[in-house]
Amino acid sequence: MAETLFKKNMSKKTRKLLKNKLTILGLFIVILVVFCAIFANIIAPYPNDVTGTVNFSSMNLAPGKENIFGTDEIGRDIFSRVLFGARYSLVMGVMVLIIAIAIGVPLGLIAGYWGGKINGIIMRLTDIFLAIPSIILAMAVAAIMEPSLRNSMIAISFGWWPWFTRLVQAETLKLKNEQFILASQGIGASKWRIAFIEILPNCLSTIIVKASTDIGFVILTGASLGFLGLGAQPPAPEWGTMVAEGRVYLPMMWWQTTFPGLAILVTVLGFNLLGDGLRDYFDVRVD
């Protein structure tokens, strides 16, 4: 009985989710970006242009039939490069969130469930990390390492985990005195077991929503680091790096900066729309 009710309820909510046009648009964009990232070497008209290949015959061409986004100063097809750029952005978004969750969630569970001094120490630590705007902290950390995609991901994760710690700590505090937790305590389950087997699954929807609303911002921050030269290095077709490279050729070759930037905008918009939809679906507040 309860189960069928649950199913009915779910399908109603799912239907509501699918009814929201903006969420559908977001889902469509995300699928498109993932598709581009996976099959970039098949879809891209000039897959070899990802590297530093030089084609003098096709330098600085404006967008046209052959190259719909135009070509750059050494004749590489911008469209092909933008397609491959999706890989960098997706890897960036997913990896940073995996690291942030892997660090932030256990700390939040421990802080919330153990309480006392441990809670004080962990939450103070998050205060310190959150005392600097995350983009500035990411820049500072990236600045002390050699610039690369991997290091920029480490740099962004460095300032991102405290958000998950705070969120999970608050959730844990709410769940701590629920009947089922008290029951587990009664039958003598260990603290670790209760925190990670009983409480954690109940925080999952919040974590998922937080991650899905964050991924767009992570991608945006990653592109910003790339733009400052603190991320993936040329000739990598990372979008932020491409915008920075193309800036030198303004105002004449406007397409070199315009299209990679547009790709960032569309991708981030897609993830934000989807994240919004998921937030309504799970009905949790994460901000």
Partner 1 sequence: MGRFIGKRLFGIIPTLFGLILLIFLLSRIMPGDSVRLALGPEATPEQIVAMEEKLGLNNPIPIQFINYIRGLFTGDMGMSLRTGRNVLLDIKETFPATFELSLISMIISVAVGVPLGILSAIKNNNWADHLIRIFSLSGIALPRFWLAILLQLVFSYWLGVFPVIGRGTIEVANITGLRIIDSLITGNIAGLSDSLLHILLPALSLSMATAAQIMRMTRTNMLDQVNKDYVLAAESYGLPENLVYKRYMLKNAFISVLTTIGMQFGSLIGNAFLVETVFGWPGMAQYAIQGIMYKDYNAITGVTLIIGFFFVIINVIVDLLYGLFDPRIKLES
Contacts with partner 1 by CB under 8 A lie at 22, 124-125, 127-129, 131-137, 139-141, 143-146, 216, 220, 223-224, 227-228, 230, 240, 243, 247, 250-251, 254, 257-258, 261, 264-266, 268-269, 272-273, 276
Considering the complex, state which of residue 58 and residue 257 has its C-beta at the smaller distance from partner 1. 257
CB of 123 to partner 1, least distance (A): 11
Q: How far is the CB of 193 from partner 1 (least distance, A)?
A: 32
Helix axes 134-144, 149-175, angle to 10 degrees: 140
Q: Output 36 or 264, the one with its CB closest to partner 1.
A: 264
Distance CA 276, CA 26 (A): 9
Return the C-alpha torsion angle 240, 244, 249, 252, nearest 10: 50
Q: For residue 41, how far is the Cα from the chain centroid?
A: 23
CA distance 93 to 88: 9
Residues 274/30, Cβ–Cβ less than 8 Å: yes
Number of H helices, E strands in the chain: 11, 0
> Three-state DSSP class for 15?
helix
Measured from the CB atom, the residue of 83 and 243 that comes closer to partner 1 is 243
- On the CB side of 27, how many CA atoms lie within 13 Å of its CA? 10
Residue with tokens 């490069």: 81
Nearest CB to partner 1, comparing residues 141 and 199: 141
Question: What is the nearest approach in angstroms of partner 1 to the Cβ of residue 196?
Answer: 28
Nearer to partner 1, 204 or 250 (CB): 250
| Shortest separation between residue 272's beta carbon and partner 1, angstroms | 6
Give the nearest distance from C-beta 68 to partner 1 in angstroms.
Answer: 19
Determine the distance from the C-alpha atom of residue 164 to the mean position of all C-alpha atoms in its chain, rounded to a whole number. 13
* Residue 37 or 156 with smaller CB distance to partner 1: 156
Across 48-80, b (16+ Cβ under 10 Å) vs e yields ebbeeeebeebeebebeeebebbbbeebbbbbb
Q: Nearest approach, Cβ of 245 to partner 1 (angstroms)?
A: 12
The minimum distance between CB 67 and partner 1, in angstroms, equals 20
Q: At what angle do helices 149-175 and 116-130 cross, to 10 degrees?
A: 140
Are 81 and 255 in contact by the 8 Å Cβ rule? The answer is: no
> Quick count: other Cβ atoms within 10 Å of Cβ 265?
12
Nearer to partner 1, 70 or 216 (CB): 216
